[in-house]
Amino acid sequence: MGGNLDRRRFVQLAALSGAAALAGCGTASSLGDRQPIRLGYVSPQSGPLFAFGEADSFVIEGAKQAFKDGLQLGGRAHPVEILVRDSQSSPARAGEVARDLIARDQVDMMLVSSTPETTNPVADACEAAGTPCISTVTPYQPWYLARKPARDPANPKPFQWTWHFFWGLEDIIGVFADMWGQVENNQILGGLWPDDGDGQAWSKGFPAVLRNQGYRIIDPGRYPSEKDSFRGEIERFKAEGADIVTGVPLPPDFATFWKQAAELNYRPKIASVGKALLFPAFIEAMGTAAGVSTEVWWSPGHPFTSSLSGASAGQLAADYQSRTGRQWIQPIGFVHALFEVAASVIRQVGNVGDKQALADAIKATRMRTIVGPIDWTRTQADFPNVSRTPLVGGQWRRGRSWPFELAIVSNTAHPEIPATSTLQPIAVTG
């Protein structure tokens, strides 16, 4: 598909996602009459955030294979059931399916991935019900601050039942600023921050830090997701001469913005955008997105291995590509890591029905995973219950094996993750 990607077509692609078939998924083979270990898993497998769940079916099948002989509890193997639910990209739906998994299906532990719209209502349901929960793929500030009851950043109190691993806004600000410093620009920045959990957190965190670094911020205000026109934002960025555009829009919204920006003859030197620019299928569908940049949480070049399978990041990505015929995506590593952590935690307890023992085991977790170290035994972030993971920066370039490929262009904070290039202005790469 060439040219620009309209919102309707992008959302319709959800129907083609392999993850969409997961909604009623999966029980492991029985090990006699032993009590099964039930893991709930919730992610957006349809709706505007469906791309985050595109690889879920692949990861779930891998986890089921790893658990085919059960997990050891007190010297005996117990079967593992993985109950998968689709949040449909809706916070209300995410909370509903989480409560059903807790009350009706009686899961022993909840796993949840991808954006505050899914992770937060699921974590809130678990906190209210006293069910251990591990979440990922949400910057930790919106995960903590937007939770119920509202968290006070001046007096951060720990949760009892919910833990999180991912990076924070300080990490992405550092990565983006490092990339921007590689290209000559006027330090005028236009912000695309929606009126959702990510947008509210990013719009508070970015300007305060970047102004101290000499940037002038053009902030048109929070906008409703899935809007039809960004003409006002574009005209303002153009009038102010913004060389940089950043933000955290939904993929369909960035497609609308980028198409209309071209129509209005506005092309910034740099566009570093979270969430929308993570996925190669979206970059390919847009057709005109060569040179845009984004954060990179996980890639085949990350020097980490799985505690479940022993596979390297490169091997896991290659396996996904060979099995599906699709290009690797970043959530593969983090969803896989959820099951790594769950297995490690369960092996530490003698009785899976002991929720407090599971919570204590999560709190005591310190391990290496395919996304890097995960450690809740020490303070790593501004708020409790958080383990920060490595973050680098990448730029989409026209590729050899795939139409667009992600070059790692910023690794200052994590030199253990190899950089493959430096940031180039959009006009050069496009």
- Regarding whether 326 and 341 lie in a shared domain, the answer is yes
pLDDT at 91 over 50: yes
User: Is the pLDDT reported for residue 162 higher than 90?
Assistant: yes
**pTM recorded for the entire structure:** 0.90
For residues 205 and 58, membership in a common domain is answered with: no
- Residue 93 scores a pLDDT above 80: yes
Q: Are residues 228 and 178 in the same domain?
A: yes
Closest CA to 343 of 113, 102, 14, 37: 37
Give the pLDDT mean for 302-325: 97
pLDDT band at 16 (very low <50, low <70, confident <90, very high): very low
Q: Is residue 2 part of a domain?
A: no
Contact 89, 46 (CB under 8 A): yes
Whether residue 33 is predicted with pLDDT greater than 80 in this model: the reply is no
Write the DSSP string, 371-411.
TEEEE-SS--SSSSSEE----EEEEEEE-SSSSEEEEEEE-
Q: Does 307 share its domain with 290?
A: no
Asked, for residue 314, whether it belongs to a domain, the answer is yes
Residue 421 located in a structural domain: yes
CATH number, domain containing residue 290: 3.40.50.2300
Residue 280 reports pLDDT greater than 50: yes
Average pLDDT estimate for 35-39: 92
Specify whether 268 is located in the same domain as 400.
Answer: yes
pLDDT for the residue 32: 64
Counted domains in the chain: 2
Residues 233 and 139 in one domain: no
135 & 52 share domain: yes
Q: Does residue 160 share a domain with residue 24? A: yes
Is 83 contained in some domain? yes
Is the residue at 22 inside a domain? yes
Res 10: pLDDT: 41
Each residue of 228-254: pLDDT tens digit? Answer: 999 999 999 999 999 999 999 988 899
Query: What's the confidence (pLDDT) of residue 251?
Result: 86
Which pLDDT score, from 0 to 100, does residue 289 have? 82
Distance, in Å, from the CA atom of 115 to the CA atom of 136, rounded to the nearest integer, reads 8
Tell me the per-residue pLDDT of 409-425, one tens digit each, with 9 for 90 and over: 999 999 999 999 999 99
Whether residue 244 is found in the same domain as residue 176: yes
Q: Evaluate if residue 22 carries a pLDDT over 50.
A: no
Co-location of 12 and 56 in the same domain: yes
Residue 101 makes CB contacts below 8 A (sequence gap 6+) with 40, 42, 83, 85, 107, 110
156 and 384 Cβ atoms separated by less than 8 Å: yes
Mean pLDDT, residues 75-98 taken together? 95
- Are residues 400 and 367 both part of a single domain? no
Burial level of 178, CB count in 10 A (0-12/13-18/19+)? middle
Q: Give percent above pLDDT 70 in the chain.
A: 92
Please give the residue that has the higher pLDDT: either 363 or 7: 363
The reported pLDDT for the residue numbered 428 is 58
Does residue 217 have a pLDDT over 80?
yes
Mean pLDDT over 334-362 rounds to 93
Q: What is the mean pLDDT of residues 202-230?
A: 93
Question: Which segments of 164-264 does DSSP mark as H helices, in order?
Answer: 169-180, 197-212, 231-240, 251-263
Q: Is the pLDDT of residue 17 over 80?
A: no
In the listed set 353, 368, 387, which residue is the last one of a domain according to the structure? 387
Q: Percent of the chain, pLDDT > 90?
A: 77
C-beta separation of 254 from 273 below 8 A: yes
Mean pLDDT for the stretch of residues 254-269 = 94
What average pLDDT does range 386-394 have in this prediction?
A: 97
Average pLDDT, the chain: 90
Q: Decide if 1 is inside a domain.
A: no
Q: Which domain holds residue 401?
A: 170-296+392-429
Does residue 107 share a domain with residue 155?
yes
pLDDT of residue 311: 96
